[in-house]
Structure 1
């Protein structure tokens, strides 16, 4: 079933669990995400980053996602990830995305508030929810995200930001990375407690790949309602394709094998984010 992201995350917040948001860029990655969620009987967020607009037809992708979501046995929503340009957000809203992320984290707080508020007003008029970010998630290994500063989220700034913008979800920077860690993760769960106390909206964790399972589960218990996952799935896919390339086969078989290779990786994240007491 195709539902609103806000409805999905409000349910997660009330139920003390989190929803996996998988970055996808092809039919195979989209189908794998939905199949993984159905295996675990949990909701899933399909995320398309602005950086993929050059290789993925946005309108066609939205139509495809909605068609598969309507047949799915679990709730599915469609999210625009890390958009920096207003034009991208307008385009996503027009073709049916249920939520958008405006990333103004590179700006000073006052500018970020002003730009995000404009996007919130635009999106809310169309019934679309908005995610934004305070702080800046750094980039680790194998990531295709823009380089972030790694600045952590200040709880007081987060409160001011949410109060003034009316944003629906907040991405909290607590030490996770886009991509894989190259050293020991230093994730500030105490800071997450402070952010949770400061704001009431659902919180988002960027950088699910490589984050230790126990840390992830603690973060969910402390209020994270959405976890973004990209790189770990990408590595599973490319590792499979490297092996498959040594055994000549039809492209259709290779793509089917890739989908089979990444589905259990996605299912593990979906399972990890469940409420263990539910």
Structure 2
């Protein structure tokens, strides 16, 4: 069994100079492909259930799916709640077997964000699992605008919440389909200077691969969330599978054809986060 907490995979990443991918799942086909990719690359992987995933599949079911994959995997697998917005939602994820809770209070005033995140971190730690918080708001492509993380507020947040990982807003954007953006490295260095907590980049699909690799090996960013580019790979594979034989109607047979292309896309993602010691 290789079920792991977030802290168990991020602390080695921080010390050894690499990052771990938080791969955003939507269903059985992609989460299974992500674990296969992690095994092929011999790296840990964080399976993430975000709001759209939870709207489609209940948390208790997702917890069992994640744990089943972890128990049969040859690499560490983290069962992670992504963007939990309430204590009740985080408690349900904990009760469903998740090993990591990400509470997103980034839209709230700082004091409220700290208080609520600290309460969830305390609950998680009492159960022997991990907690990620967010300070500074990461916006959405074509939607809400970002609000960059203030280094002094980040230092306060890290100390007062006792989180195991801290998501920051440094030019990253959710749901970005291209890689024309880039992260604000001076802001990252300013945050690194005032806290030793592993840092997390949400909206990692929009970050150029060279910058991902460089920051994974040479900064405190230990987790990059990747969703959009893998959803695009799945969508392309599914369209190809459907169009290859218009008479085919069995969805199991159709979905099976998405596996190898998604594994290949996930392996390309995972490779960029490896440290120098493991290629």
TM-score (norm 2): 0.93
SS of the residue aligned with 1:227?
strand
SS of the residue aligned with 2:206?
coil
- Residue in 2 that maps onto 1:212: 208
- Residue in 2 that maps onto 1:89: 90
**Cα separation, 1, equivalents of 2:123 and 2:200:** 21
Aligned length: 273
Does 2:159 correspond to 1:163? yes
Segments of structure 2 that go 5 or more residues without pairing to the other structure are none
Contact 2:182 2:206 survives alignment (8 Å): no
* CA shift for structure 1 position 237: 1.1
* CA shift for structure 1 position 100: 0.5
* CA shift for structure 1 position 86: 1.4
Which deviations, in whole Å up to 9, do the C-alpha atoms of 1:189-248 show, x marking residues without a partner?
111111111111111111111321111122222111111011111111112222333222
* CA shift for structure 1 position 119: 1.3
**Cα separation, 2, equivalents of 1:151 and 1:224:** 19
User: What does residue range 191-202 of structure 1 map to in structure 2 within 5 Å?
Assistant: 191-202=187-198
Corresponding residue to 1:243 among 240, 243, 252: 240
Shift in CA distance, 106/73, structure 1 to aligned 2, threshold 3 Å: same
* CA shift for structure 1 position 183: 8.1
Stretch of structure 1 that moved more, 149-158 or 63-72:
63-72
* CA shift for structure 1 position 136: 1.1
TM-score (norm 1): 0.93
Contact 2:182 2:207 survives alignment (8 Å): no
Stretch of structure 1 that moved more, 173-182 or 33-42:
173-182
* CA shift for structure 1 position 257: 1.1
Stretch of structure 1 that moved more, 211-220 or 101-110:
211-220
* CA shift for structure 1 position 123: 1.7
- Residue in 1 that maps onto 2:34: 33
User: What does residue range 115-264 of structure 1 map to in structure 2 within 5 Å?
Assistant: 115-140=116-141, 147-180=143-176, 184-220=180-216, 221-246=218-243, 247-248=245-246, 249=248, 250-264=250-264
- Residue in 2 that maps onto 1:15: 16
Contact 2:233 2:262 survives alignment (8 Å): yes
Contact 1:20 1:226 survives alignment (8 Å): yes
**Cα separation, 1, equivalents of 2:122 and 2:140:** 30
Contact 1:192 1:219 survives alignment (8 Å): no
Does 2:263 correspond to 1:266? no
SS of the residue aligned with 1:82?
strand
Contact 1:133 1:170 survives alignment (8 Å): yes
* CA shift for structure 1 position 152: 0.9
- Residue in 2 that maps onto 1:144: none
SS of the residue aligned with 2:101?
strand
SS of the residue aligned with 1:171?
strand
Contact 1:140 1:182 survives alignment (8 Å): no
Which deviations, in whole Å up to 9, do the C-alpha atoms of 1:79-135 show, x marking residues without a partner?
000011211100000121111010000011111111111211222211121101111
**Cα separation, 2, equivalents of 1:119 and 1:26:** 26
